[in-house]
Amino acid sequence: MMQTPPAAAAQATRSPREPELWATDALIEVLGLEKTYHTARGPLTLFKNLDLQVDTGEMVAIVGQSGTGKSTLLHILGALDAPSAGTVYCASTNVATLSQRQAAAFRNSKIGYVWQFHYLLPEFTAQENVAMPLLARGQTRREALAVAANWLREVGLEDRGDHRPGELSGGEQQRVALARALVNNPRLLLADEPTGDLDETTAGQVFDLIERLHASHGLTSILVTHNMDLAARCSRVLRLEGGRLTVSATGPKCQLT
Ligand SMILES: Nc1ncnc2c1ncn2[C@@H]1O[C@H](COP(=O)(O)OP(=O)(O)O)[C@@H](O)[C@H]1O
Ligand SMILES: [Mg+2]
C-alpha cells in the first residue's frame, strides 16, 4: 500500500504551463486526475487532467465557486472518494489503489479532516468526542481521555471537556472538531470550509488556531474557503474552475512566484 511518489516520472509529465503549481518535497502529488460521477442524467465530469503538488509544510487555500468540485477533491485526497483516473499520491500513499480497509487505516493515521459542520457525536462529551479516534485504534479509555484532555487544553477548551456539543458555541464546537481531527497526529489536515458556518470574528479566531496548530505540529494543510481574507493568509491560494487549478492572485501574503 505504501509507495514512493514516482518523482522522475512526475517530473517528466509536469505541465510547463503552470510551473507555479509545483513545489518540491511533495506530500501530495496529483497527476492527471479525472473524476466523473455517473448520475441519472448521465456522466458528470468534474476534473480532467488536474495536477496538484503540495509541499510538506505548506498551507494551501483552495477557493472557487460552489459546485466546482472542491469537496470532491478533498475527499479524493483523503481517500473518502476514488478518482476515476490519474495518480493521487498523498502522504507517501497511492490513495487510488487502497482497499476500503486500507483507506480507513490511511485516514485514521495520516489525515485530519474538518468540515463546515462539526459532526461531533451529540450524546458524548467534548473530551469523549476527541478521544473517539484513539478508542477506535484500541487505546484504553483512560489513556485516550488523558490525551484528549491535553488536546482540549491545546485548543483552549480545558474547562469544557465535560460539555456536550449542544452545550458549546459554534466556535467551540469547531475547536473540539479540530482537536478530534488531530488527536492521532496526522501529517495532513484537510479542512472543508472550516469557518463557513461561523461569524466573522469567530471565523478569524478558528483560523488563528488552525494556523497555530499547523505550525506547532508540522502539518501540511489544505483549506477550502470562500473567505478571501483568510485564504490570503495561506502560503498559496489556488482557484478551482472549469476542472483546473490555477494560482489565484489574492492577498499580499500569497507567494505567487
Ligand atoms: N456522489 C456524487 N454523485 C454525483 N454527483 C456528485 C456527487 N458528489 C458531488 N456531486 C456533484 O459534483 C459537483 C461538485 O460537488 P462538490 O465537490 O461538493 O463541489 P464544491 O465543494 O466545490 O461545492 C456538484 O455539482 C455535485 O452535485
Ligand atoms: Mg464543498
Q: Which residue has the cell 510538506?
A: 56
Helix, strand, coil in percent for the chain, rounding step 5: 40, 25, 35
Averaged pLDDT, 230-237: 95
- pLDDT bracket for residue 25 (50, 70, 90): confident
Report the alpha-carbon distance of residue 181 to residue 178 in Å, rounded: 5
For the domain made up of 7-250, the CATH class stated in words is alpha beta
> What residues are in contact with ligand 1 under a 6 Å CB criterion?
37, 39, 44, 46, 64, 66-72
Residue tagged 462539526 (cell numbers): 118
Q: What is the pLDDT of residue 164?
A: 98
Q: What's the mean pLDDT in 166-187?
A: 97
Residue nearest to atom 16 of ligand 1 (CA): 69
**Beta-bridge partners for 50:** 33
Query: Which ligand lies nearest the alpha carbon of 63?
Result: 1
Residue 39 has pLDDT above 60, yes or no: yes
Rounded to the nearest angstrom, the distance between the alpha carbon of 81 and the centre of ligand 2 is 14
40-90 pLDDT, tens digit each: 999 999 998 999 999 999 999 999 999 999 999 999 999 999 999 999 999
Asked if residues 27 and 90 have their Cβ atoms less than 8 Å apart, the reply is yes
Measure 243 CA to ligand 1 centroid, in angstroms. Answer: 12
**CA 121 centroid distance within chain:** 20
This prediction has a pTM of 0.88
Residue 2 scores a pLDDT above 80: no
**Atom 17 of ligand 1, nearest CA residue:** 69
What is the residue extent of each domain of the chain? Answer: 7-250
In this prediction, residue 92 carries a pLDDT of 82
| Proportion of the chain above pLDDT 90, given as a percent | 82
Q: How far out from the chain centre does Cα 234 lie?
A: 14
